Homo-oligomer: A and B are copies of this chain.
Amino acid sequence: MRTYNAVTSPTSPHLTAIPTARGGPVAPSRGALRPLGLGEVTITGGLWGRMQELNAGVIIDHCLGWMERIGWIANFDRVATASGEHAGIEFVDSEVYKLLEAMAWELGRRPDAALEVCYRGIVSRVAAAQDHDGYLHTSFGHAGQRARYSDLEWGHELYCHGHLIQAAVARLRTGHDDELPAVARRLADHLYAAFGPGGRAAVCGHPEIEVALAEFARATGEPRYLELARLFVERRGHGTLGTMLYQGHEYFQDDVPVRDAEVLRGHAVRALYLSAGAVDIAVETGDGELLAAVESQYLRTIARRSYITGGLGAHHQNEEFGDDFELPSDRAYAETCAAIASVMLSWRLLVQTGDARFADQIERTLLNAVLVSPRADGRAFYYANTLHQRTAGAATTDDELSERAEASMRAPWFEVSCCPTNVARTLASVAGYFATTDGTGVQLHQYGSYTVDTTLDGDRIALRVESEYPRDGSVRIVVVDAPARPVAISTRIPAWARGRAEVAISAAGTGTASEWSTVPADAAFTIERSFSAGDVIELRLPMEPRFTRAHPRIDAVRGQAVVERGPLVLALEDVDLPEGVDVEHVELDPTFSPLDDVEGAIVGLRRRMAPEDEWPPYAAAAAELGDFFTARMRPYKDWANRGPSTMRVWMPVSER
């Protein structure tokens, strides 16, 4: 029995082009764990299977339709033909690139001739807009446009370049070294000339190029790309970006060098993309100090500046982190992209350190902060993700471009539409966050229905994981093939399940399982032995709904509790309350243990009655509690799928 909290043994870095076919989004040359690629982990069903089907069948097409309709893809044609006006804000190129990345992962997952033709068509249009020296951007550097790199603070040029390069990495990792990787190489070479050791010592206002170049270096074996990524990280934090009335150096993470900071701060997505890039660079350059710095900043950020959903960013103003423990439910910005960036960072730290807390955080974030974004039908998205909606907003129409983030309902598309395409690329590549190997065996970090098929020191190991998780807490791990020698199969025990999970193991052909036994309260359950095809490890995770009380320093939720069920945060919506009762006038009765209810819970409530327009308005009118009644709470990720509604995640607890 052991956890996978192994510590990385220092090895000298070796940046060589790793075999790319069927890889995943992140392929570090070293680390405690080796990520399995999309060719090694295949989602076969369950929640993630359904989400991938929705992505393939609806979301990608939805994004494509909007971007053709409002001319964001046509921006490339306009540059290629030197005609027409640029559509949308400066950085809409990045949405096209994130969609290309989603398509590439999707094509890697399963062949689709029509999608392949569509993908290649868009890539050709992008390629046609590339300047002879490799520069590629549709709103800078051409006739009638501002000069290249004339607005590094706000122009987002290198941010867009980063997303192009990430799309190229996806194409390489799915086995194609074709047009987009070629475009990306020319672009990256141009960037090295423009911003490399002999170039301009500057950074982009929005980090992204760092993580992209580092991964592109891994995918191509080209050390100059890593060097440029490293320069961008090291240059940051010296106050070289110009500030604005509302955006100081902190907003851009240009206030303190990455290796000297104590916590993530400023614009949340910027801070997280930058941190992910810094980890990659630290790993590939053997910079243990930088790696430790980012790990420490991120752990402190999660402990003090993250929502229970995994959401990050407490301020609408500047889309930024607040102070430690400043986590208002009602003003949770918790941008979908910040949640996705947090998964990217958690994964990088997980594979470097083997610390299962990062896998816990991936689970929490994916199942709550990310999956809340797409509507059930995949045709509308949340940008900001509040944890408390006091008034049911007006429904948005599916035909209307929305402002950014203030809508109480999901919107089909946004003027700044970073989130839908980010959801698309994440769903297409989500299998990449599920499993790893190390010298001893296989680690399963996430649950669902999927297969693992990889090798350990040249010997095949193949597993089939079967679960309707998180609806159900039962997980069957079936050995399909295994080396003849002893290997370890390790499976994460989520923090909320520790000490209460049970396991039973049956050997192939015996037909009978072992007795169920309680798993020790560790971060993972590991069994090391010689496995045979047909061996089964069965896990039972305790899915009874539970109360989680607020940390006493979070003023915004003092005296409140969340109901969680397994990894899912639950929410109470008006539509699930009796006529005439609303979420603002009920308290949770802590004496009634919530009952399990499919993916949700039945909770005990009391209506709270207090005058609301008394004078003076501040004195606490003694609130009276009404009769006990029960109501259904459902997963937060599914809220607002039944029309405009009010909603609470944190519920006042009646202690009287």
Contact = CB atoms under 8 A, between A and B. Distances in A.
Contact of A556 (B306, B556, B620, B621): B556
A315 B314 CA distance: 12
A499 to B, nearest CB: 13
A328 B328 CA distance: 8
Interface string A343-360: 000000000000001001
A304 interface: yes
A120 B309 CA distance: 62
Contacts of A143: none
Interface stretch (A222-230, A318-326, A442-450): A318-326
Given A330-B322, A404-B245, A558-B558, A551 B620 contact: yes
Interface stretch (A101-109, A148-156, A525-533, A606-614): A606-614
Contacts of A616: 360, 364, 495-496
Contacts of A325: 390, 584
Nearest to A390: B323
Contact of A619 (B304, B548, B556, B618): B548
A186 interface: no
Given A316-B317, A328-B331, A620-B548, A613 B555 contact: no
Given A553-B610, A559-B559, A404 B246 contact: yes
A256 interface: no
Given A403-B246, A552-B610, A584-B553, A618 B308 contact: yes
A85 interface: no
A624 B406 CA distance: 39
Contact of A552 (B302, B556, B623): B623
Contact of A549 (B326, B329, B619, B650): B619
A560 interface: yes
Contacts of A324: 390
B246 A390 contact: no
A331 B551 CA distance: 19
A300 B613 contact: yes
Contact of A303 (B552, B562, B614): B614
Main secondary structure of the interface of A (DSSP, over half): loop
Contact of A551 (B299, B551, B562, B618): B618
A324 B404 CA distance: 23
B316 A617 contact: no
B415 A245 contact: yes
A588 B555 CA distance: 14
A555 B618 CA distance: 13
How many residues of A sit at the interface, in one of the four size bands?
A: 35 or more
A335 B608 CA distance: 32
Contacts of A557: 555
Contacts of A306: 617
Contact of A328 (B556, B562, B615, B623): B556
Given A553-B612, A612-B304, A548 B495 contact: no
A652 interface: yes
Contacts of A602: none
B328 A552 contact: no
A550 interface: yes
Contacts of A520: none
Nearest to A391: B323
A248 B393 CA distance: 14
A161 interface: no
A388 B617 contact: no
Contacts of A559: 558-559
Interface in A104-158: none
Interface in A402-451: 403-404, 406, 415-416
A620 B552 contact: yes
A242 to B, nearest CB: 13
Contacts of A650: 555
Nearest to A314: B331
B556 A617 contact: no
Contacts of A364: 616
A194 to B, nearest CB: 31
B556 A555 contact: yes
Contacts of A299: 613
Given A553-B612, A555-B330, A559-B558, A406 B621 contact: no
Contact of A615 (B303, B331, B391, B584): B303
8 contacts: A248-B406, A316-B316, A323-B391, A328-B328, A360-B616, A388-B555, A548-B619, A551-B612
Interface of A: 245-246, 248, 299-300, 302-304, 306, 308, 315-317, 322-326, 328-331, 357, 360, 364, 388, 390-391, 403-404, 406, 415-416, 495-496, 548-553, 555-560, 562, 584, 608, 610, 612-621, 623, 650, 652
Query: Considering the complex of A and B, which 10 residue pairs feature the smallest CB-CB distances, nearest first?
Result: A549-B620, A559-B559, A303-B617, A316-B317, A303-B613, A558-B559, A323-B390, A308-B618, A317-B317, A552-B623
Given A328-B328, A558-B558, 6 more contacts: A306-B617, A322-B331, A330-B555, A360-B616, A495-B615, A553-B610
